[in-house]
Amino acid sequence: MQLLEFARYCEQLEKISGRLEMIDLVAGVLPSLDDRELPLFVRFISGRIFPDWSPLKLGIGPNLLYDAITFVVDGTREDVIGEINRLGDVGLAVEKILTRKKIEGSGAGGRTGTATIQQSLFPQDFDLPAVFREFTAIAEAGGKSSQQAKLSHIQNLFQNITPLEGRYLARLLMEDLRIGMGEGNMRDAIARGFGVEPSLVEHAYQAINDLGEVAILARTGARALEDVHIRLFHPVKMMLAQQGTIGETIRDNGAVAAEFKYDGSRFQFHRSKDASGLYSRKLEDVTTALPDIIEALESATGHDVILDGEVIAVRDGKPLPFQTVLRRFRRKYGVESMREEIRLIPHVFDILYLDGETLIDLPLSERRAKLESAMNAHVAPQLVSDDPAEVETFYQQALDAGHEGIMLKVVASPYTPGVRGKNWIKIKPSVDTLDLAVIGADWGEGKRAHYFGSFLLACQDEQGDLTPLSKVATGFSDEQLGEVFDLLKDRVIASQGKEVSFEPGLVFEIGYSEIQKSPNYESGFALRFPRFIRIRDDKSVDEIETLDSVRERYRNQSK
Ligand code: AMP
């Protein structure tokens, strides 16, 4: 499939608003693609480039894209940014700029005035595999001149393409295609396209963490989907938790498994006979940053395993704040000296794979037995009880020991990667914080005029689109404002007067006193007394609070 054909499908999908119609269209295309194109089409249409498990990341911000476009159309950066500001969308702006420049440049001899498309020396025909090769080269560019290398690959892509291709290529490079073909729709399209059950597609996706490869299996048939296994060094998404209460959880489930809720950073550990890998909650490879955790876990088991757990930092036996752990996760240089400074301990609470066997479909109680038999240390203690008073005492012990609270887990439940369901319930003292995406800001005033001062925050609605919920301007130290500014300055996609919009990516944890109904924000709600608590750079935007759960909190608080 050529990039132009892909862009035409995107354009068609963008015009469709009905979910079923979109699924039908994509389902109709999938069977016609060969094995090389199918996984690429599936991922690209859902706004992804590499498999979710892959450590490869493009590693480009909007600025590099602006530079590439500026070069390709032989224009000015101000022009390019001005167009993006006017249209509020990188894709539409790139399309318009390419159209204008092509027309201006198409006079006699092809060059009129200064605005001409820079022609590539070797015009290329871009089918999806060729585009993917460029993406891979962008992701793999490393070292001192990596930005220059990435830039030249992006320029290469934009030379010789039509404005319509430009619209979707630009958005794809920002990994946000804006055509509404999210994970759920793609799952259903694969199921329909190859005549298999959506639940089988979902299950296979949870295990192998790449919808592209799942599509290939779906083409082979239901058996292939049923037969999937987790693979070492292909991390799977982490299972997530909902809020709840001890009383309700025991009432609904009977005996539950209670564990301390450690306030650190989530990890997934993979071990084979001759290698180990450690992944963060966002599935980044953090193996080299945390040699002490690798050593601790390697000496606790001799088996091939995939383990799920939380790393905490301790001093004098007491847990240190979560931020301290993140400093170790982010560390690239001076790992050894940091290791002396911040002592880390892993607490393992689940096992997904043991000596070739995928365990995610077993009930928690059986996984737990396997975990205990495979490990000789670092297993998080667990209490199984149906007595609310006993669980309350356990909760109090967790808080007294300086932990965040407890987790209650349904003993019969499977491990469902990426799912935030009722099988894991978190119990902690204050529930009045929300993790929200930062989508805009106002410039600060006075001594803070060089920083962003107040931030526009969004939750995600049922379609996964971001919907504004609140602004936050308090709770920041000067140092934090500086840090936030550094993280956001390259994500600006539009600015008007004192306001800027960001390519979403950063997540804040926000405290509040109450959720109110409000016409001021698209979500229909607003936060009373919002205050910044911390940056959640262990969370990605698709993990932020949903509008549904905001509604539920609103209802619960009015009770
Ligand atoms: P939250 O980040 O508030 O949604 O809480 C869920 C997180 O708690 C998980 O993603 C883990 O990082 C962390 N956690 C700490 N202890 C446990 C535990 N025993 N079981 C599961 N998750 C835990």
Q: How does residue 107 score in pLDDT terms, banded at 50, 70 and 90?
A: very low
**Closest to 384 measured CA to CA, from 192, 229, 199, 250:** 250
Q: How far is the CA of 429 from the centre of ligand 1 (A)?
A: 14
261 classed as catalytic = yes
SS3 453: strand
Mean pLDDT in residue range 201-229: 96
**β-strands 240-243, 420-427: how paired?**
parallel
The token duo for 343 is: 């002592």
441-497 pLDDT, tens per residue?
A: 999 888 788 899 999 999 999 888 899 999 999 999 888 999 999 999 888 888 888
Nearest atom, ligand 1, residue 263 CA? 15
CA 374/CA 366 separation, integer angstroms: 12
Classify burial at 30, counting beta carbons within 10 Å of its beta carbon; exposed 0-12, middle 13-18, buried 19 or more: buried
**Closest to 536 measured CA to CA, from 528, 546, 545:** 545
pLDDT of residue 449: 84
CA 64/CA 470 separation, integer angstroms: 30
The single-letter code of the amino acid at 398 is A
Ligand 1 interacting residues, C-beta cut-off 6 A: 238, 240-241, 259-262, 266, 310, 349, 380, 407, 426
Nearest atom, ligand 1, residue 404 CA? 15
Residue 439 has pLDDT above 50, yes or no: yes
Look at ligand 1, atom 1, and give the residue with the nearest C-alpha. Answer: 241
The token duo for 553 is: 């909190």
367-403 pLDDT, tens per residue?
A: 999 999 999 999 999 999 999 999 999 999 999 998 9
The token duo for 554 is: 């609103």
Look at ligand 1, atom 23, and give the residue with the nearest C-alpha. Answer: 261
Nearest atom, ligand 1, residue 539 CA? 2
